Amino acid sequence: MKIAVSGKGGVGKTTLSAFIIKNFSDRGRKVLAIDADPDANLASALGFEHPEQVVPISEMKDLIGERTESKPGSYGTFFKLNPHVSDLPEKLSMKRENIRLMVLGGVKKGGGGCICPESVMLKTLISHLILARDEVVVLDMEAGIEHLGRGTASAVDKLIVVVEPGKRSIETAHHIQDLARDIGLKNIALVGNKIRSDQDREFLQKQLPGFTFLGFLPYDNQIIEADLEGKAPFDKEQALAEKVGRIVDELVKAKE
C-alpha cells in the first residue's frame, strides 16, 4: 500500500502520518516512512533519537553528484535524468521496529520550478519507492505534492489531505486537488483534524462538498504536550491512535 499525506502547514499531517505508520507497524507490516516535507519533523514524530542529526538526502551533494553525474550545486549543465536509486532505502534509512525512515528534504527553486540534479534525484527516488517497493510506503508531503509525477500517481493508493476548520486549510485542499488532477491522481480523501465540536465537522463537510472524508480527529492538547516533551504523539495519546486505527481499517479494506 502506498499512501501520501498532504495539507497546509500546521494542520497535523505529520502527526497523522506518524499514527498511520505506527498502526501499520503494530499490525506487523514493514513500513517505509518518507519525510518529503522540507520542514522535516517526521523523525521526531516517530520517536527516533536525535532527529536533529539527520541529513536530508537533498543536502547530500556528493551523493547527488555521483548518481546524476553532475557537479554538486551546478545548474544549466547536463546531468543524468535516471540516476540509480534502488540501493538507497537500505543505505540511507534509519530503522526502528518495523519502520524504516528516509528524510528527503527540499529543493530551493525559483518561481518557475527547478529541473536540477537535486530535484531529479528526489523525484526518481520517490518513483522507485512507490512503483518498486513491496512494503507499506507512507509519504509525509508538503502541500505542493511536487515530488509526485504523472508516472507514479496511478500507483498511489490514497492521497490523504488533512484539513482543519479554517478558510486557508480549505483553499489548500482545493489547490492540492487541482494539482492531483493535473497528474492523474484520483484517489483523494480528506481527514478532518483539530475538530472541537459538531459545528467544526459540519463546517468542513459544507465547505468541501464532493470530497470523501475518511474520518474526523479531535483537537487534542496531549498532542501539543507530546511535542513540547519531545515524545512521539502515539506515546501520549491512545484514544487518537484508536481513531486513526479505524481510518487505517478503511484504507486496508479499500485496498483489498
pLDDT in tens, the chain (256 residues): 999 999 998 899 999 999 999 999 999 999 999 999 888 889 999 999 888 888 999 899 899 999 998 875 555 567 888 899 999 999 999 999 999 999 998 765 443 445 688 888 898 999 999 999 989 999 999 887 877 888 888 899 999 999 999 999 999 999 999 999 999 998 999 999 999 999 999 999 999 998 999 999 999 888 888 877 777 888 777 888 999 999 999 999 988 7
Side-chain-side CA neighbours of residue 177 (13 Å): 16
DSSP letter assigned to residue 197 = S
C-alpha cell belonging to residue 221: 492538547
Q: Please, which residues bridge with residue 233 across strands?
A: none
Q: Please, which residues bridge with residue 94 across strands?
A: 101
- Which residues are within 8 A (CB) of 192 and not within 5 positions of it... i.e. 6 or more apart? 163, 164, 165, 200, 201, 204, 213, 215, 216, 217
Whether 122 and 58 have beta carbons less than 8 Å apart is answered as yes
* The model's pTM: 0.90
* Domain 2-255 class, CATH top level: alpha beta
Q: How far apart are the first and last CA of the chain?
A: 10
- Which residues are within 8 A (CB) of 36 and not within 5 positions of it... i.e. 6 or more apart? 104, 122, 126, 139, 140, 141, 142, 147
Whether 188 and 159 have beta carbons less than 8 Å apart is answered as yes
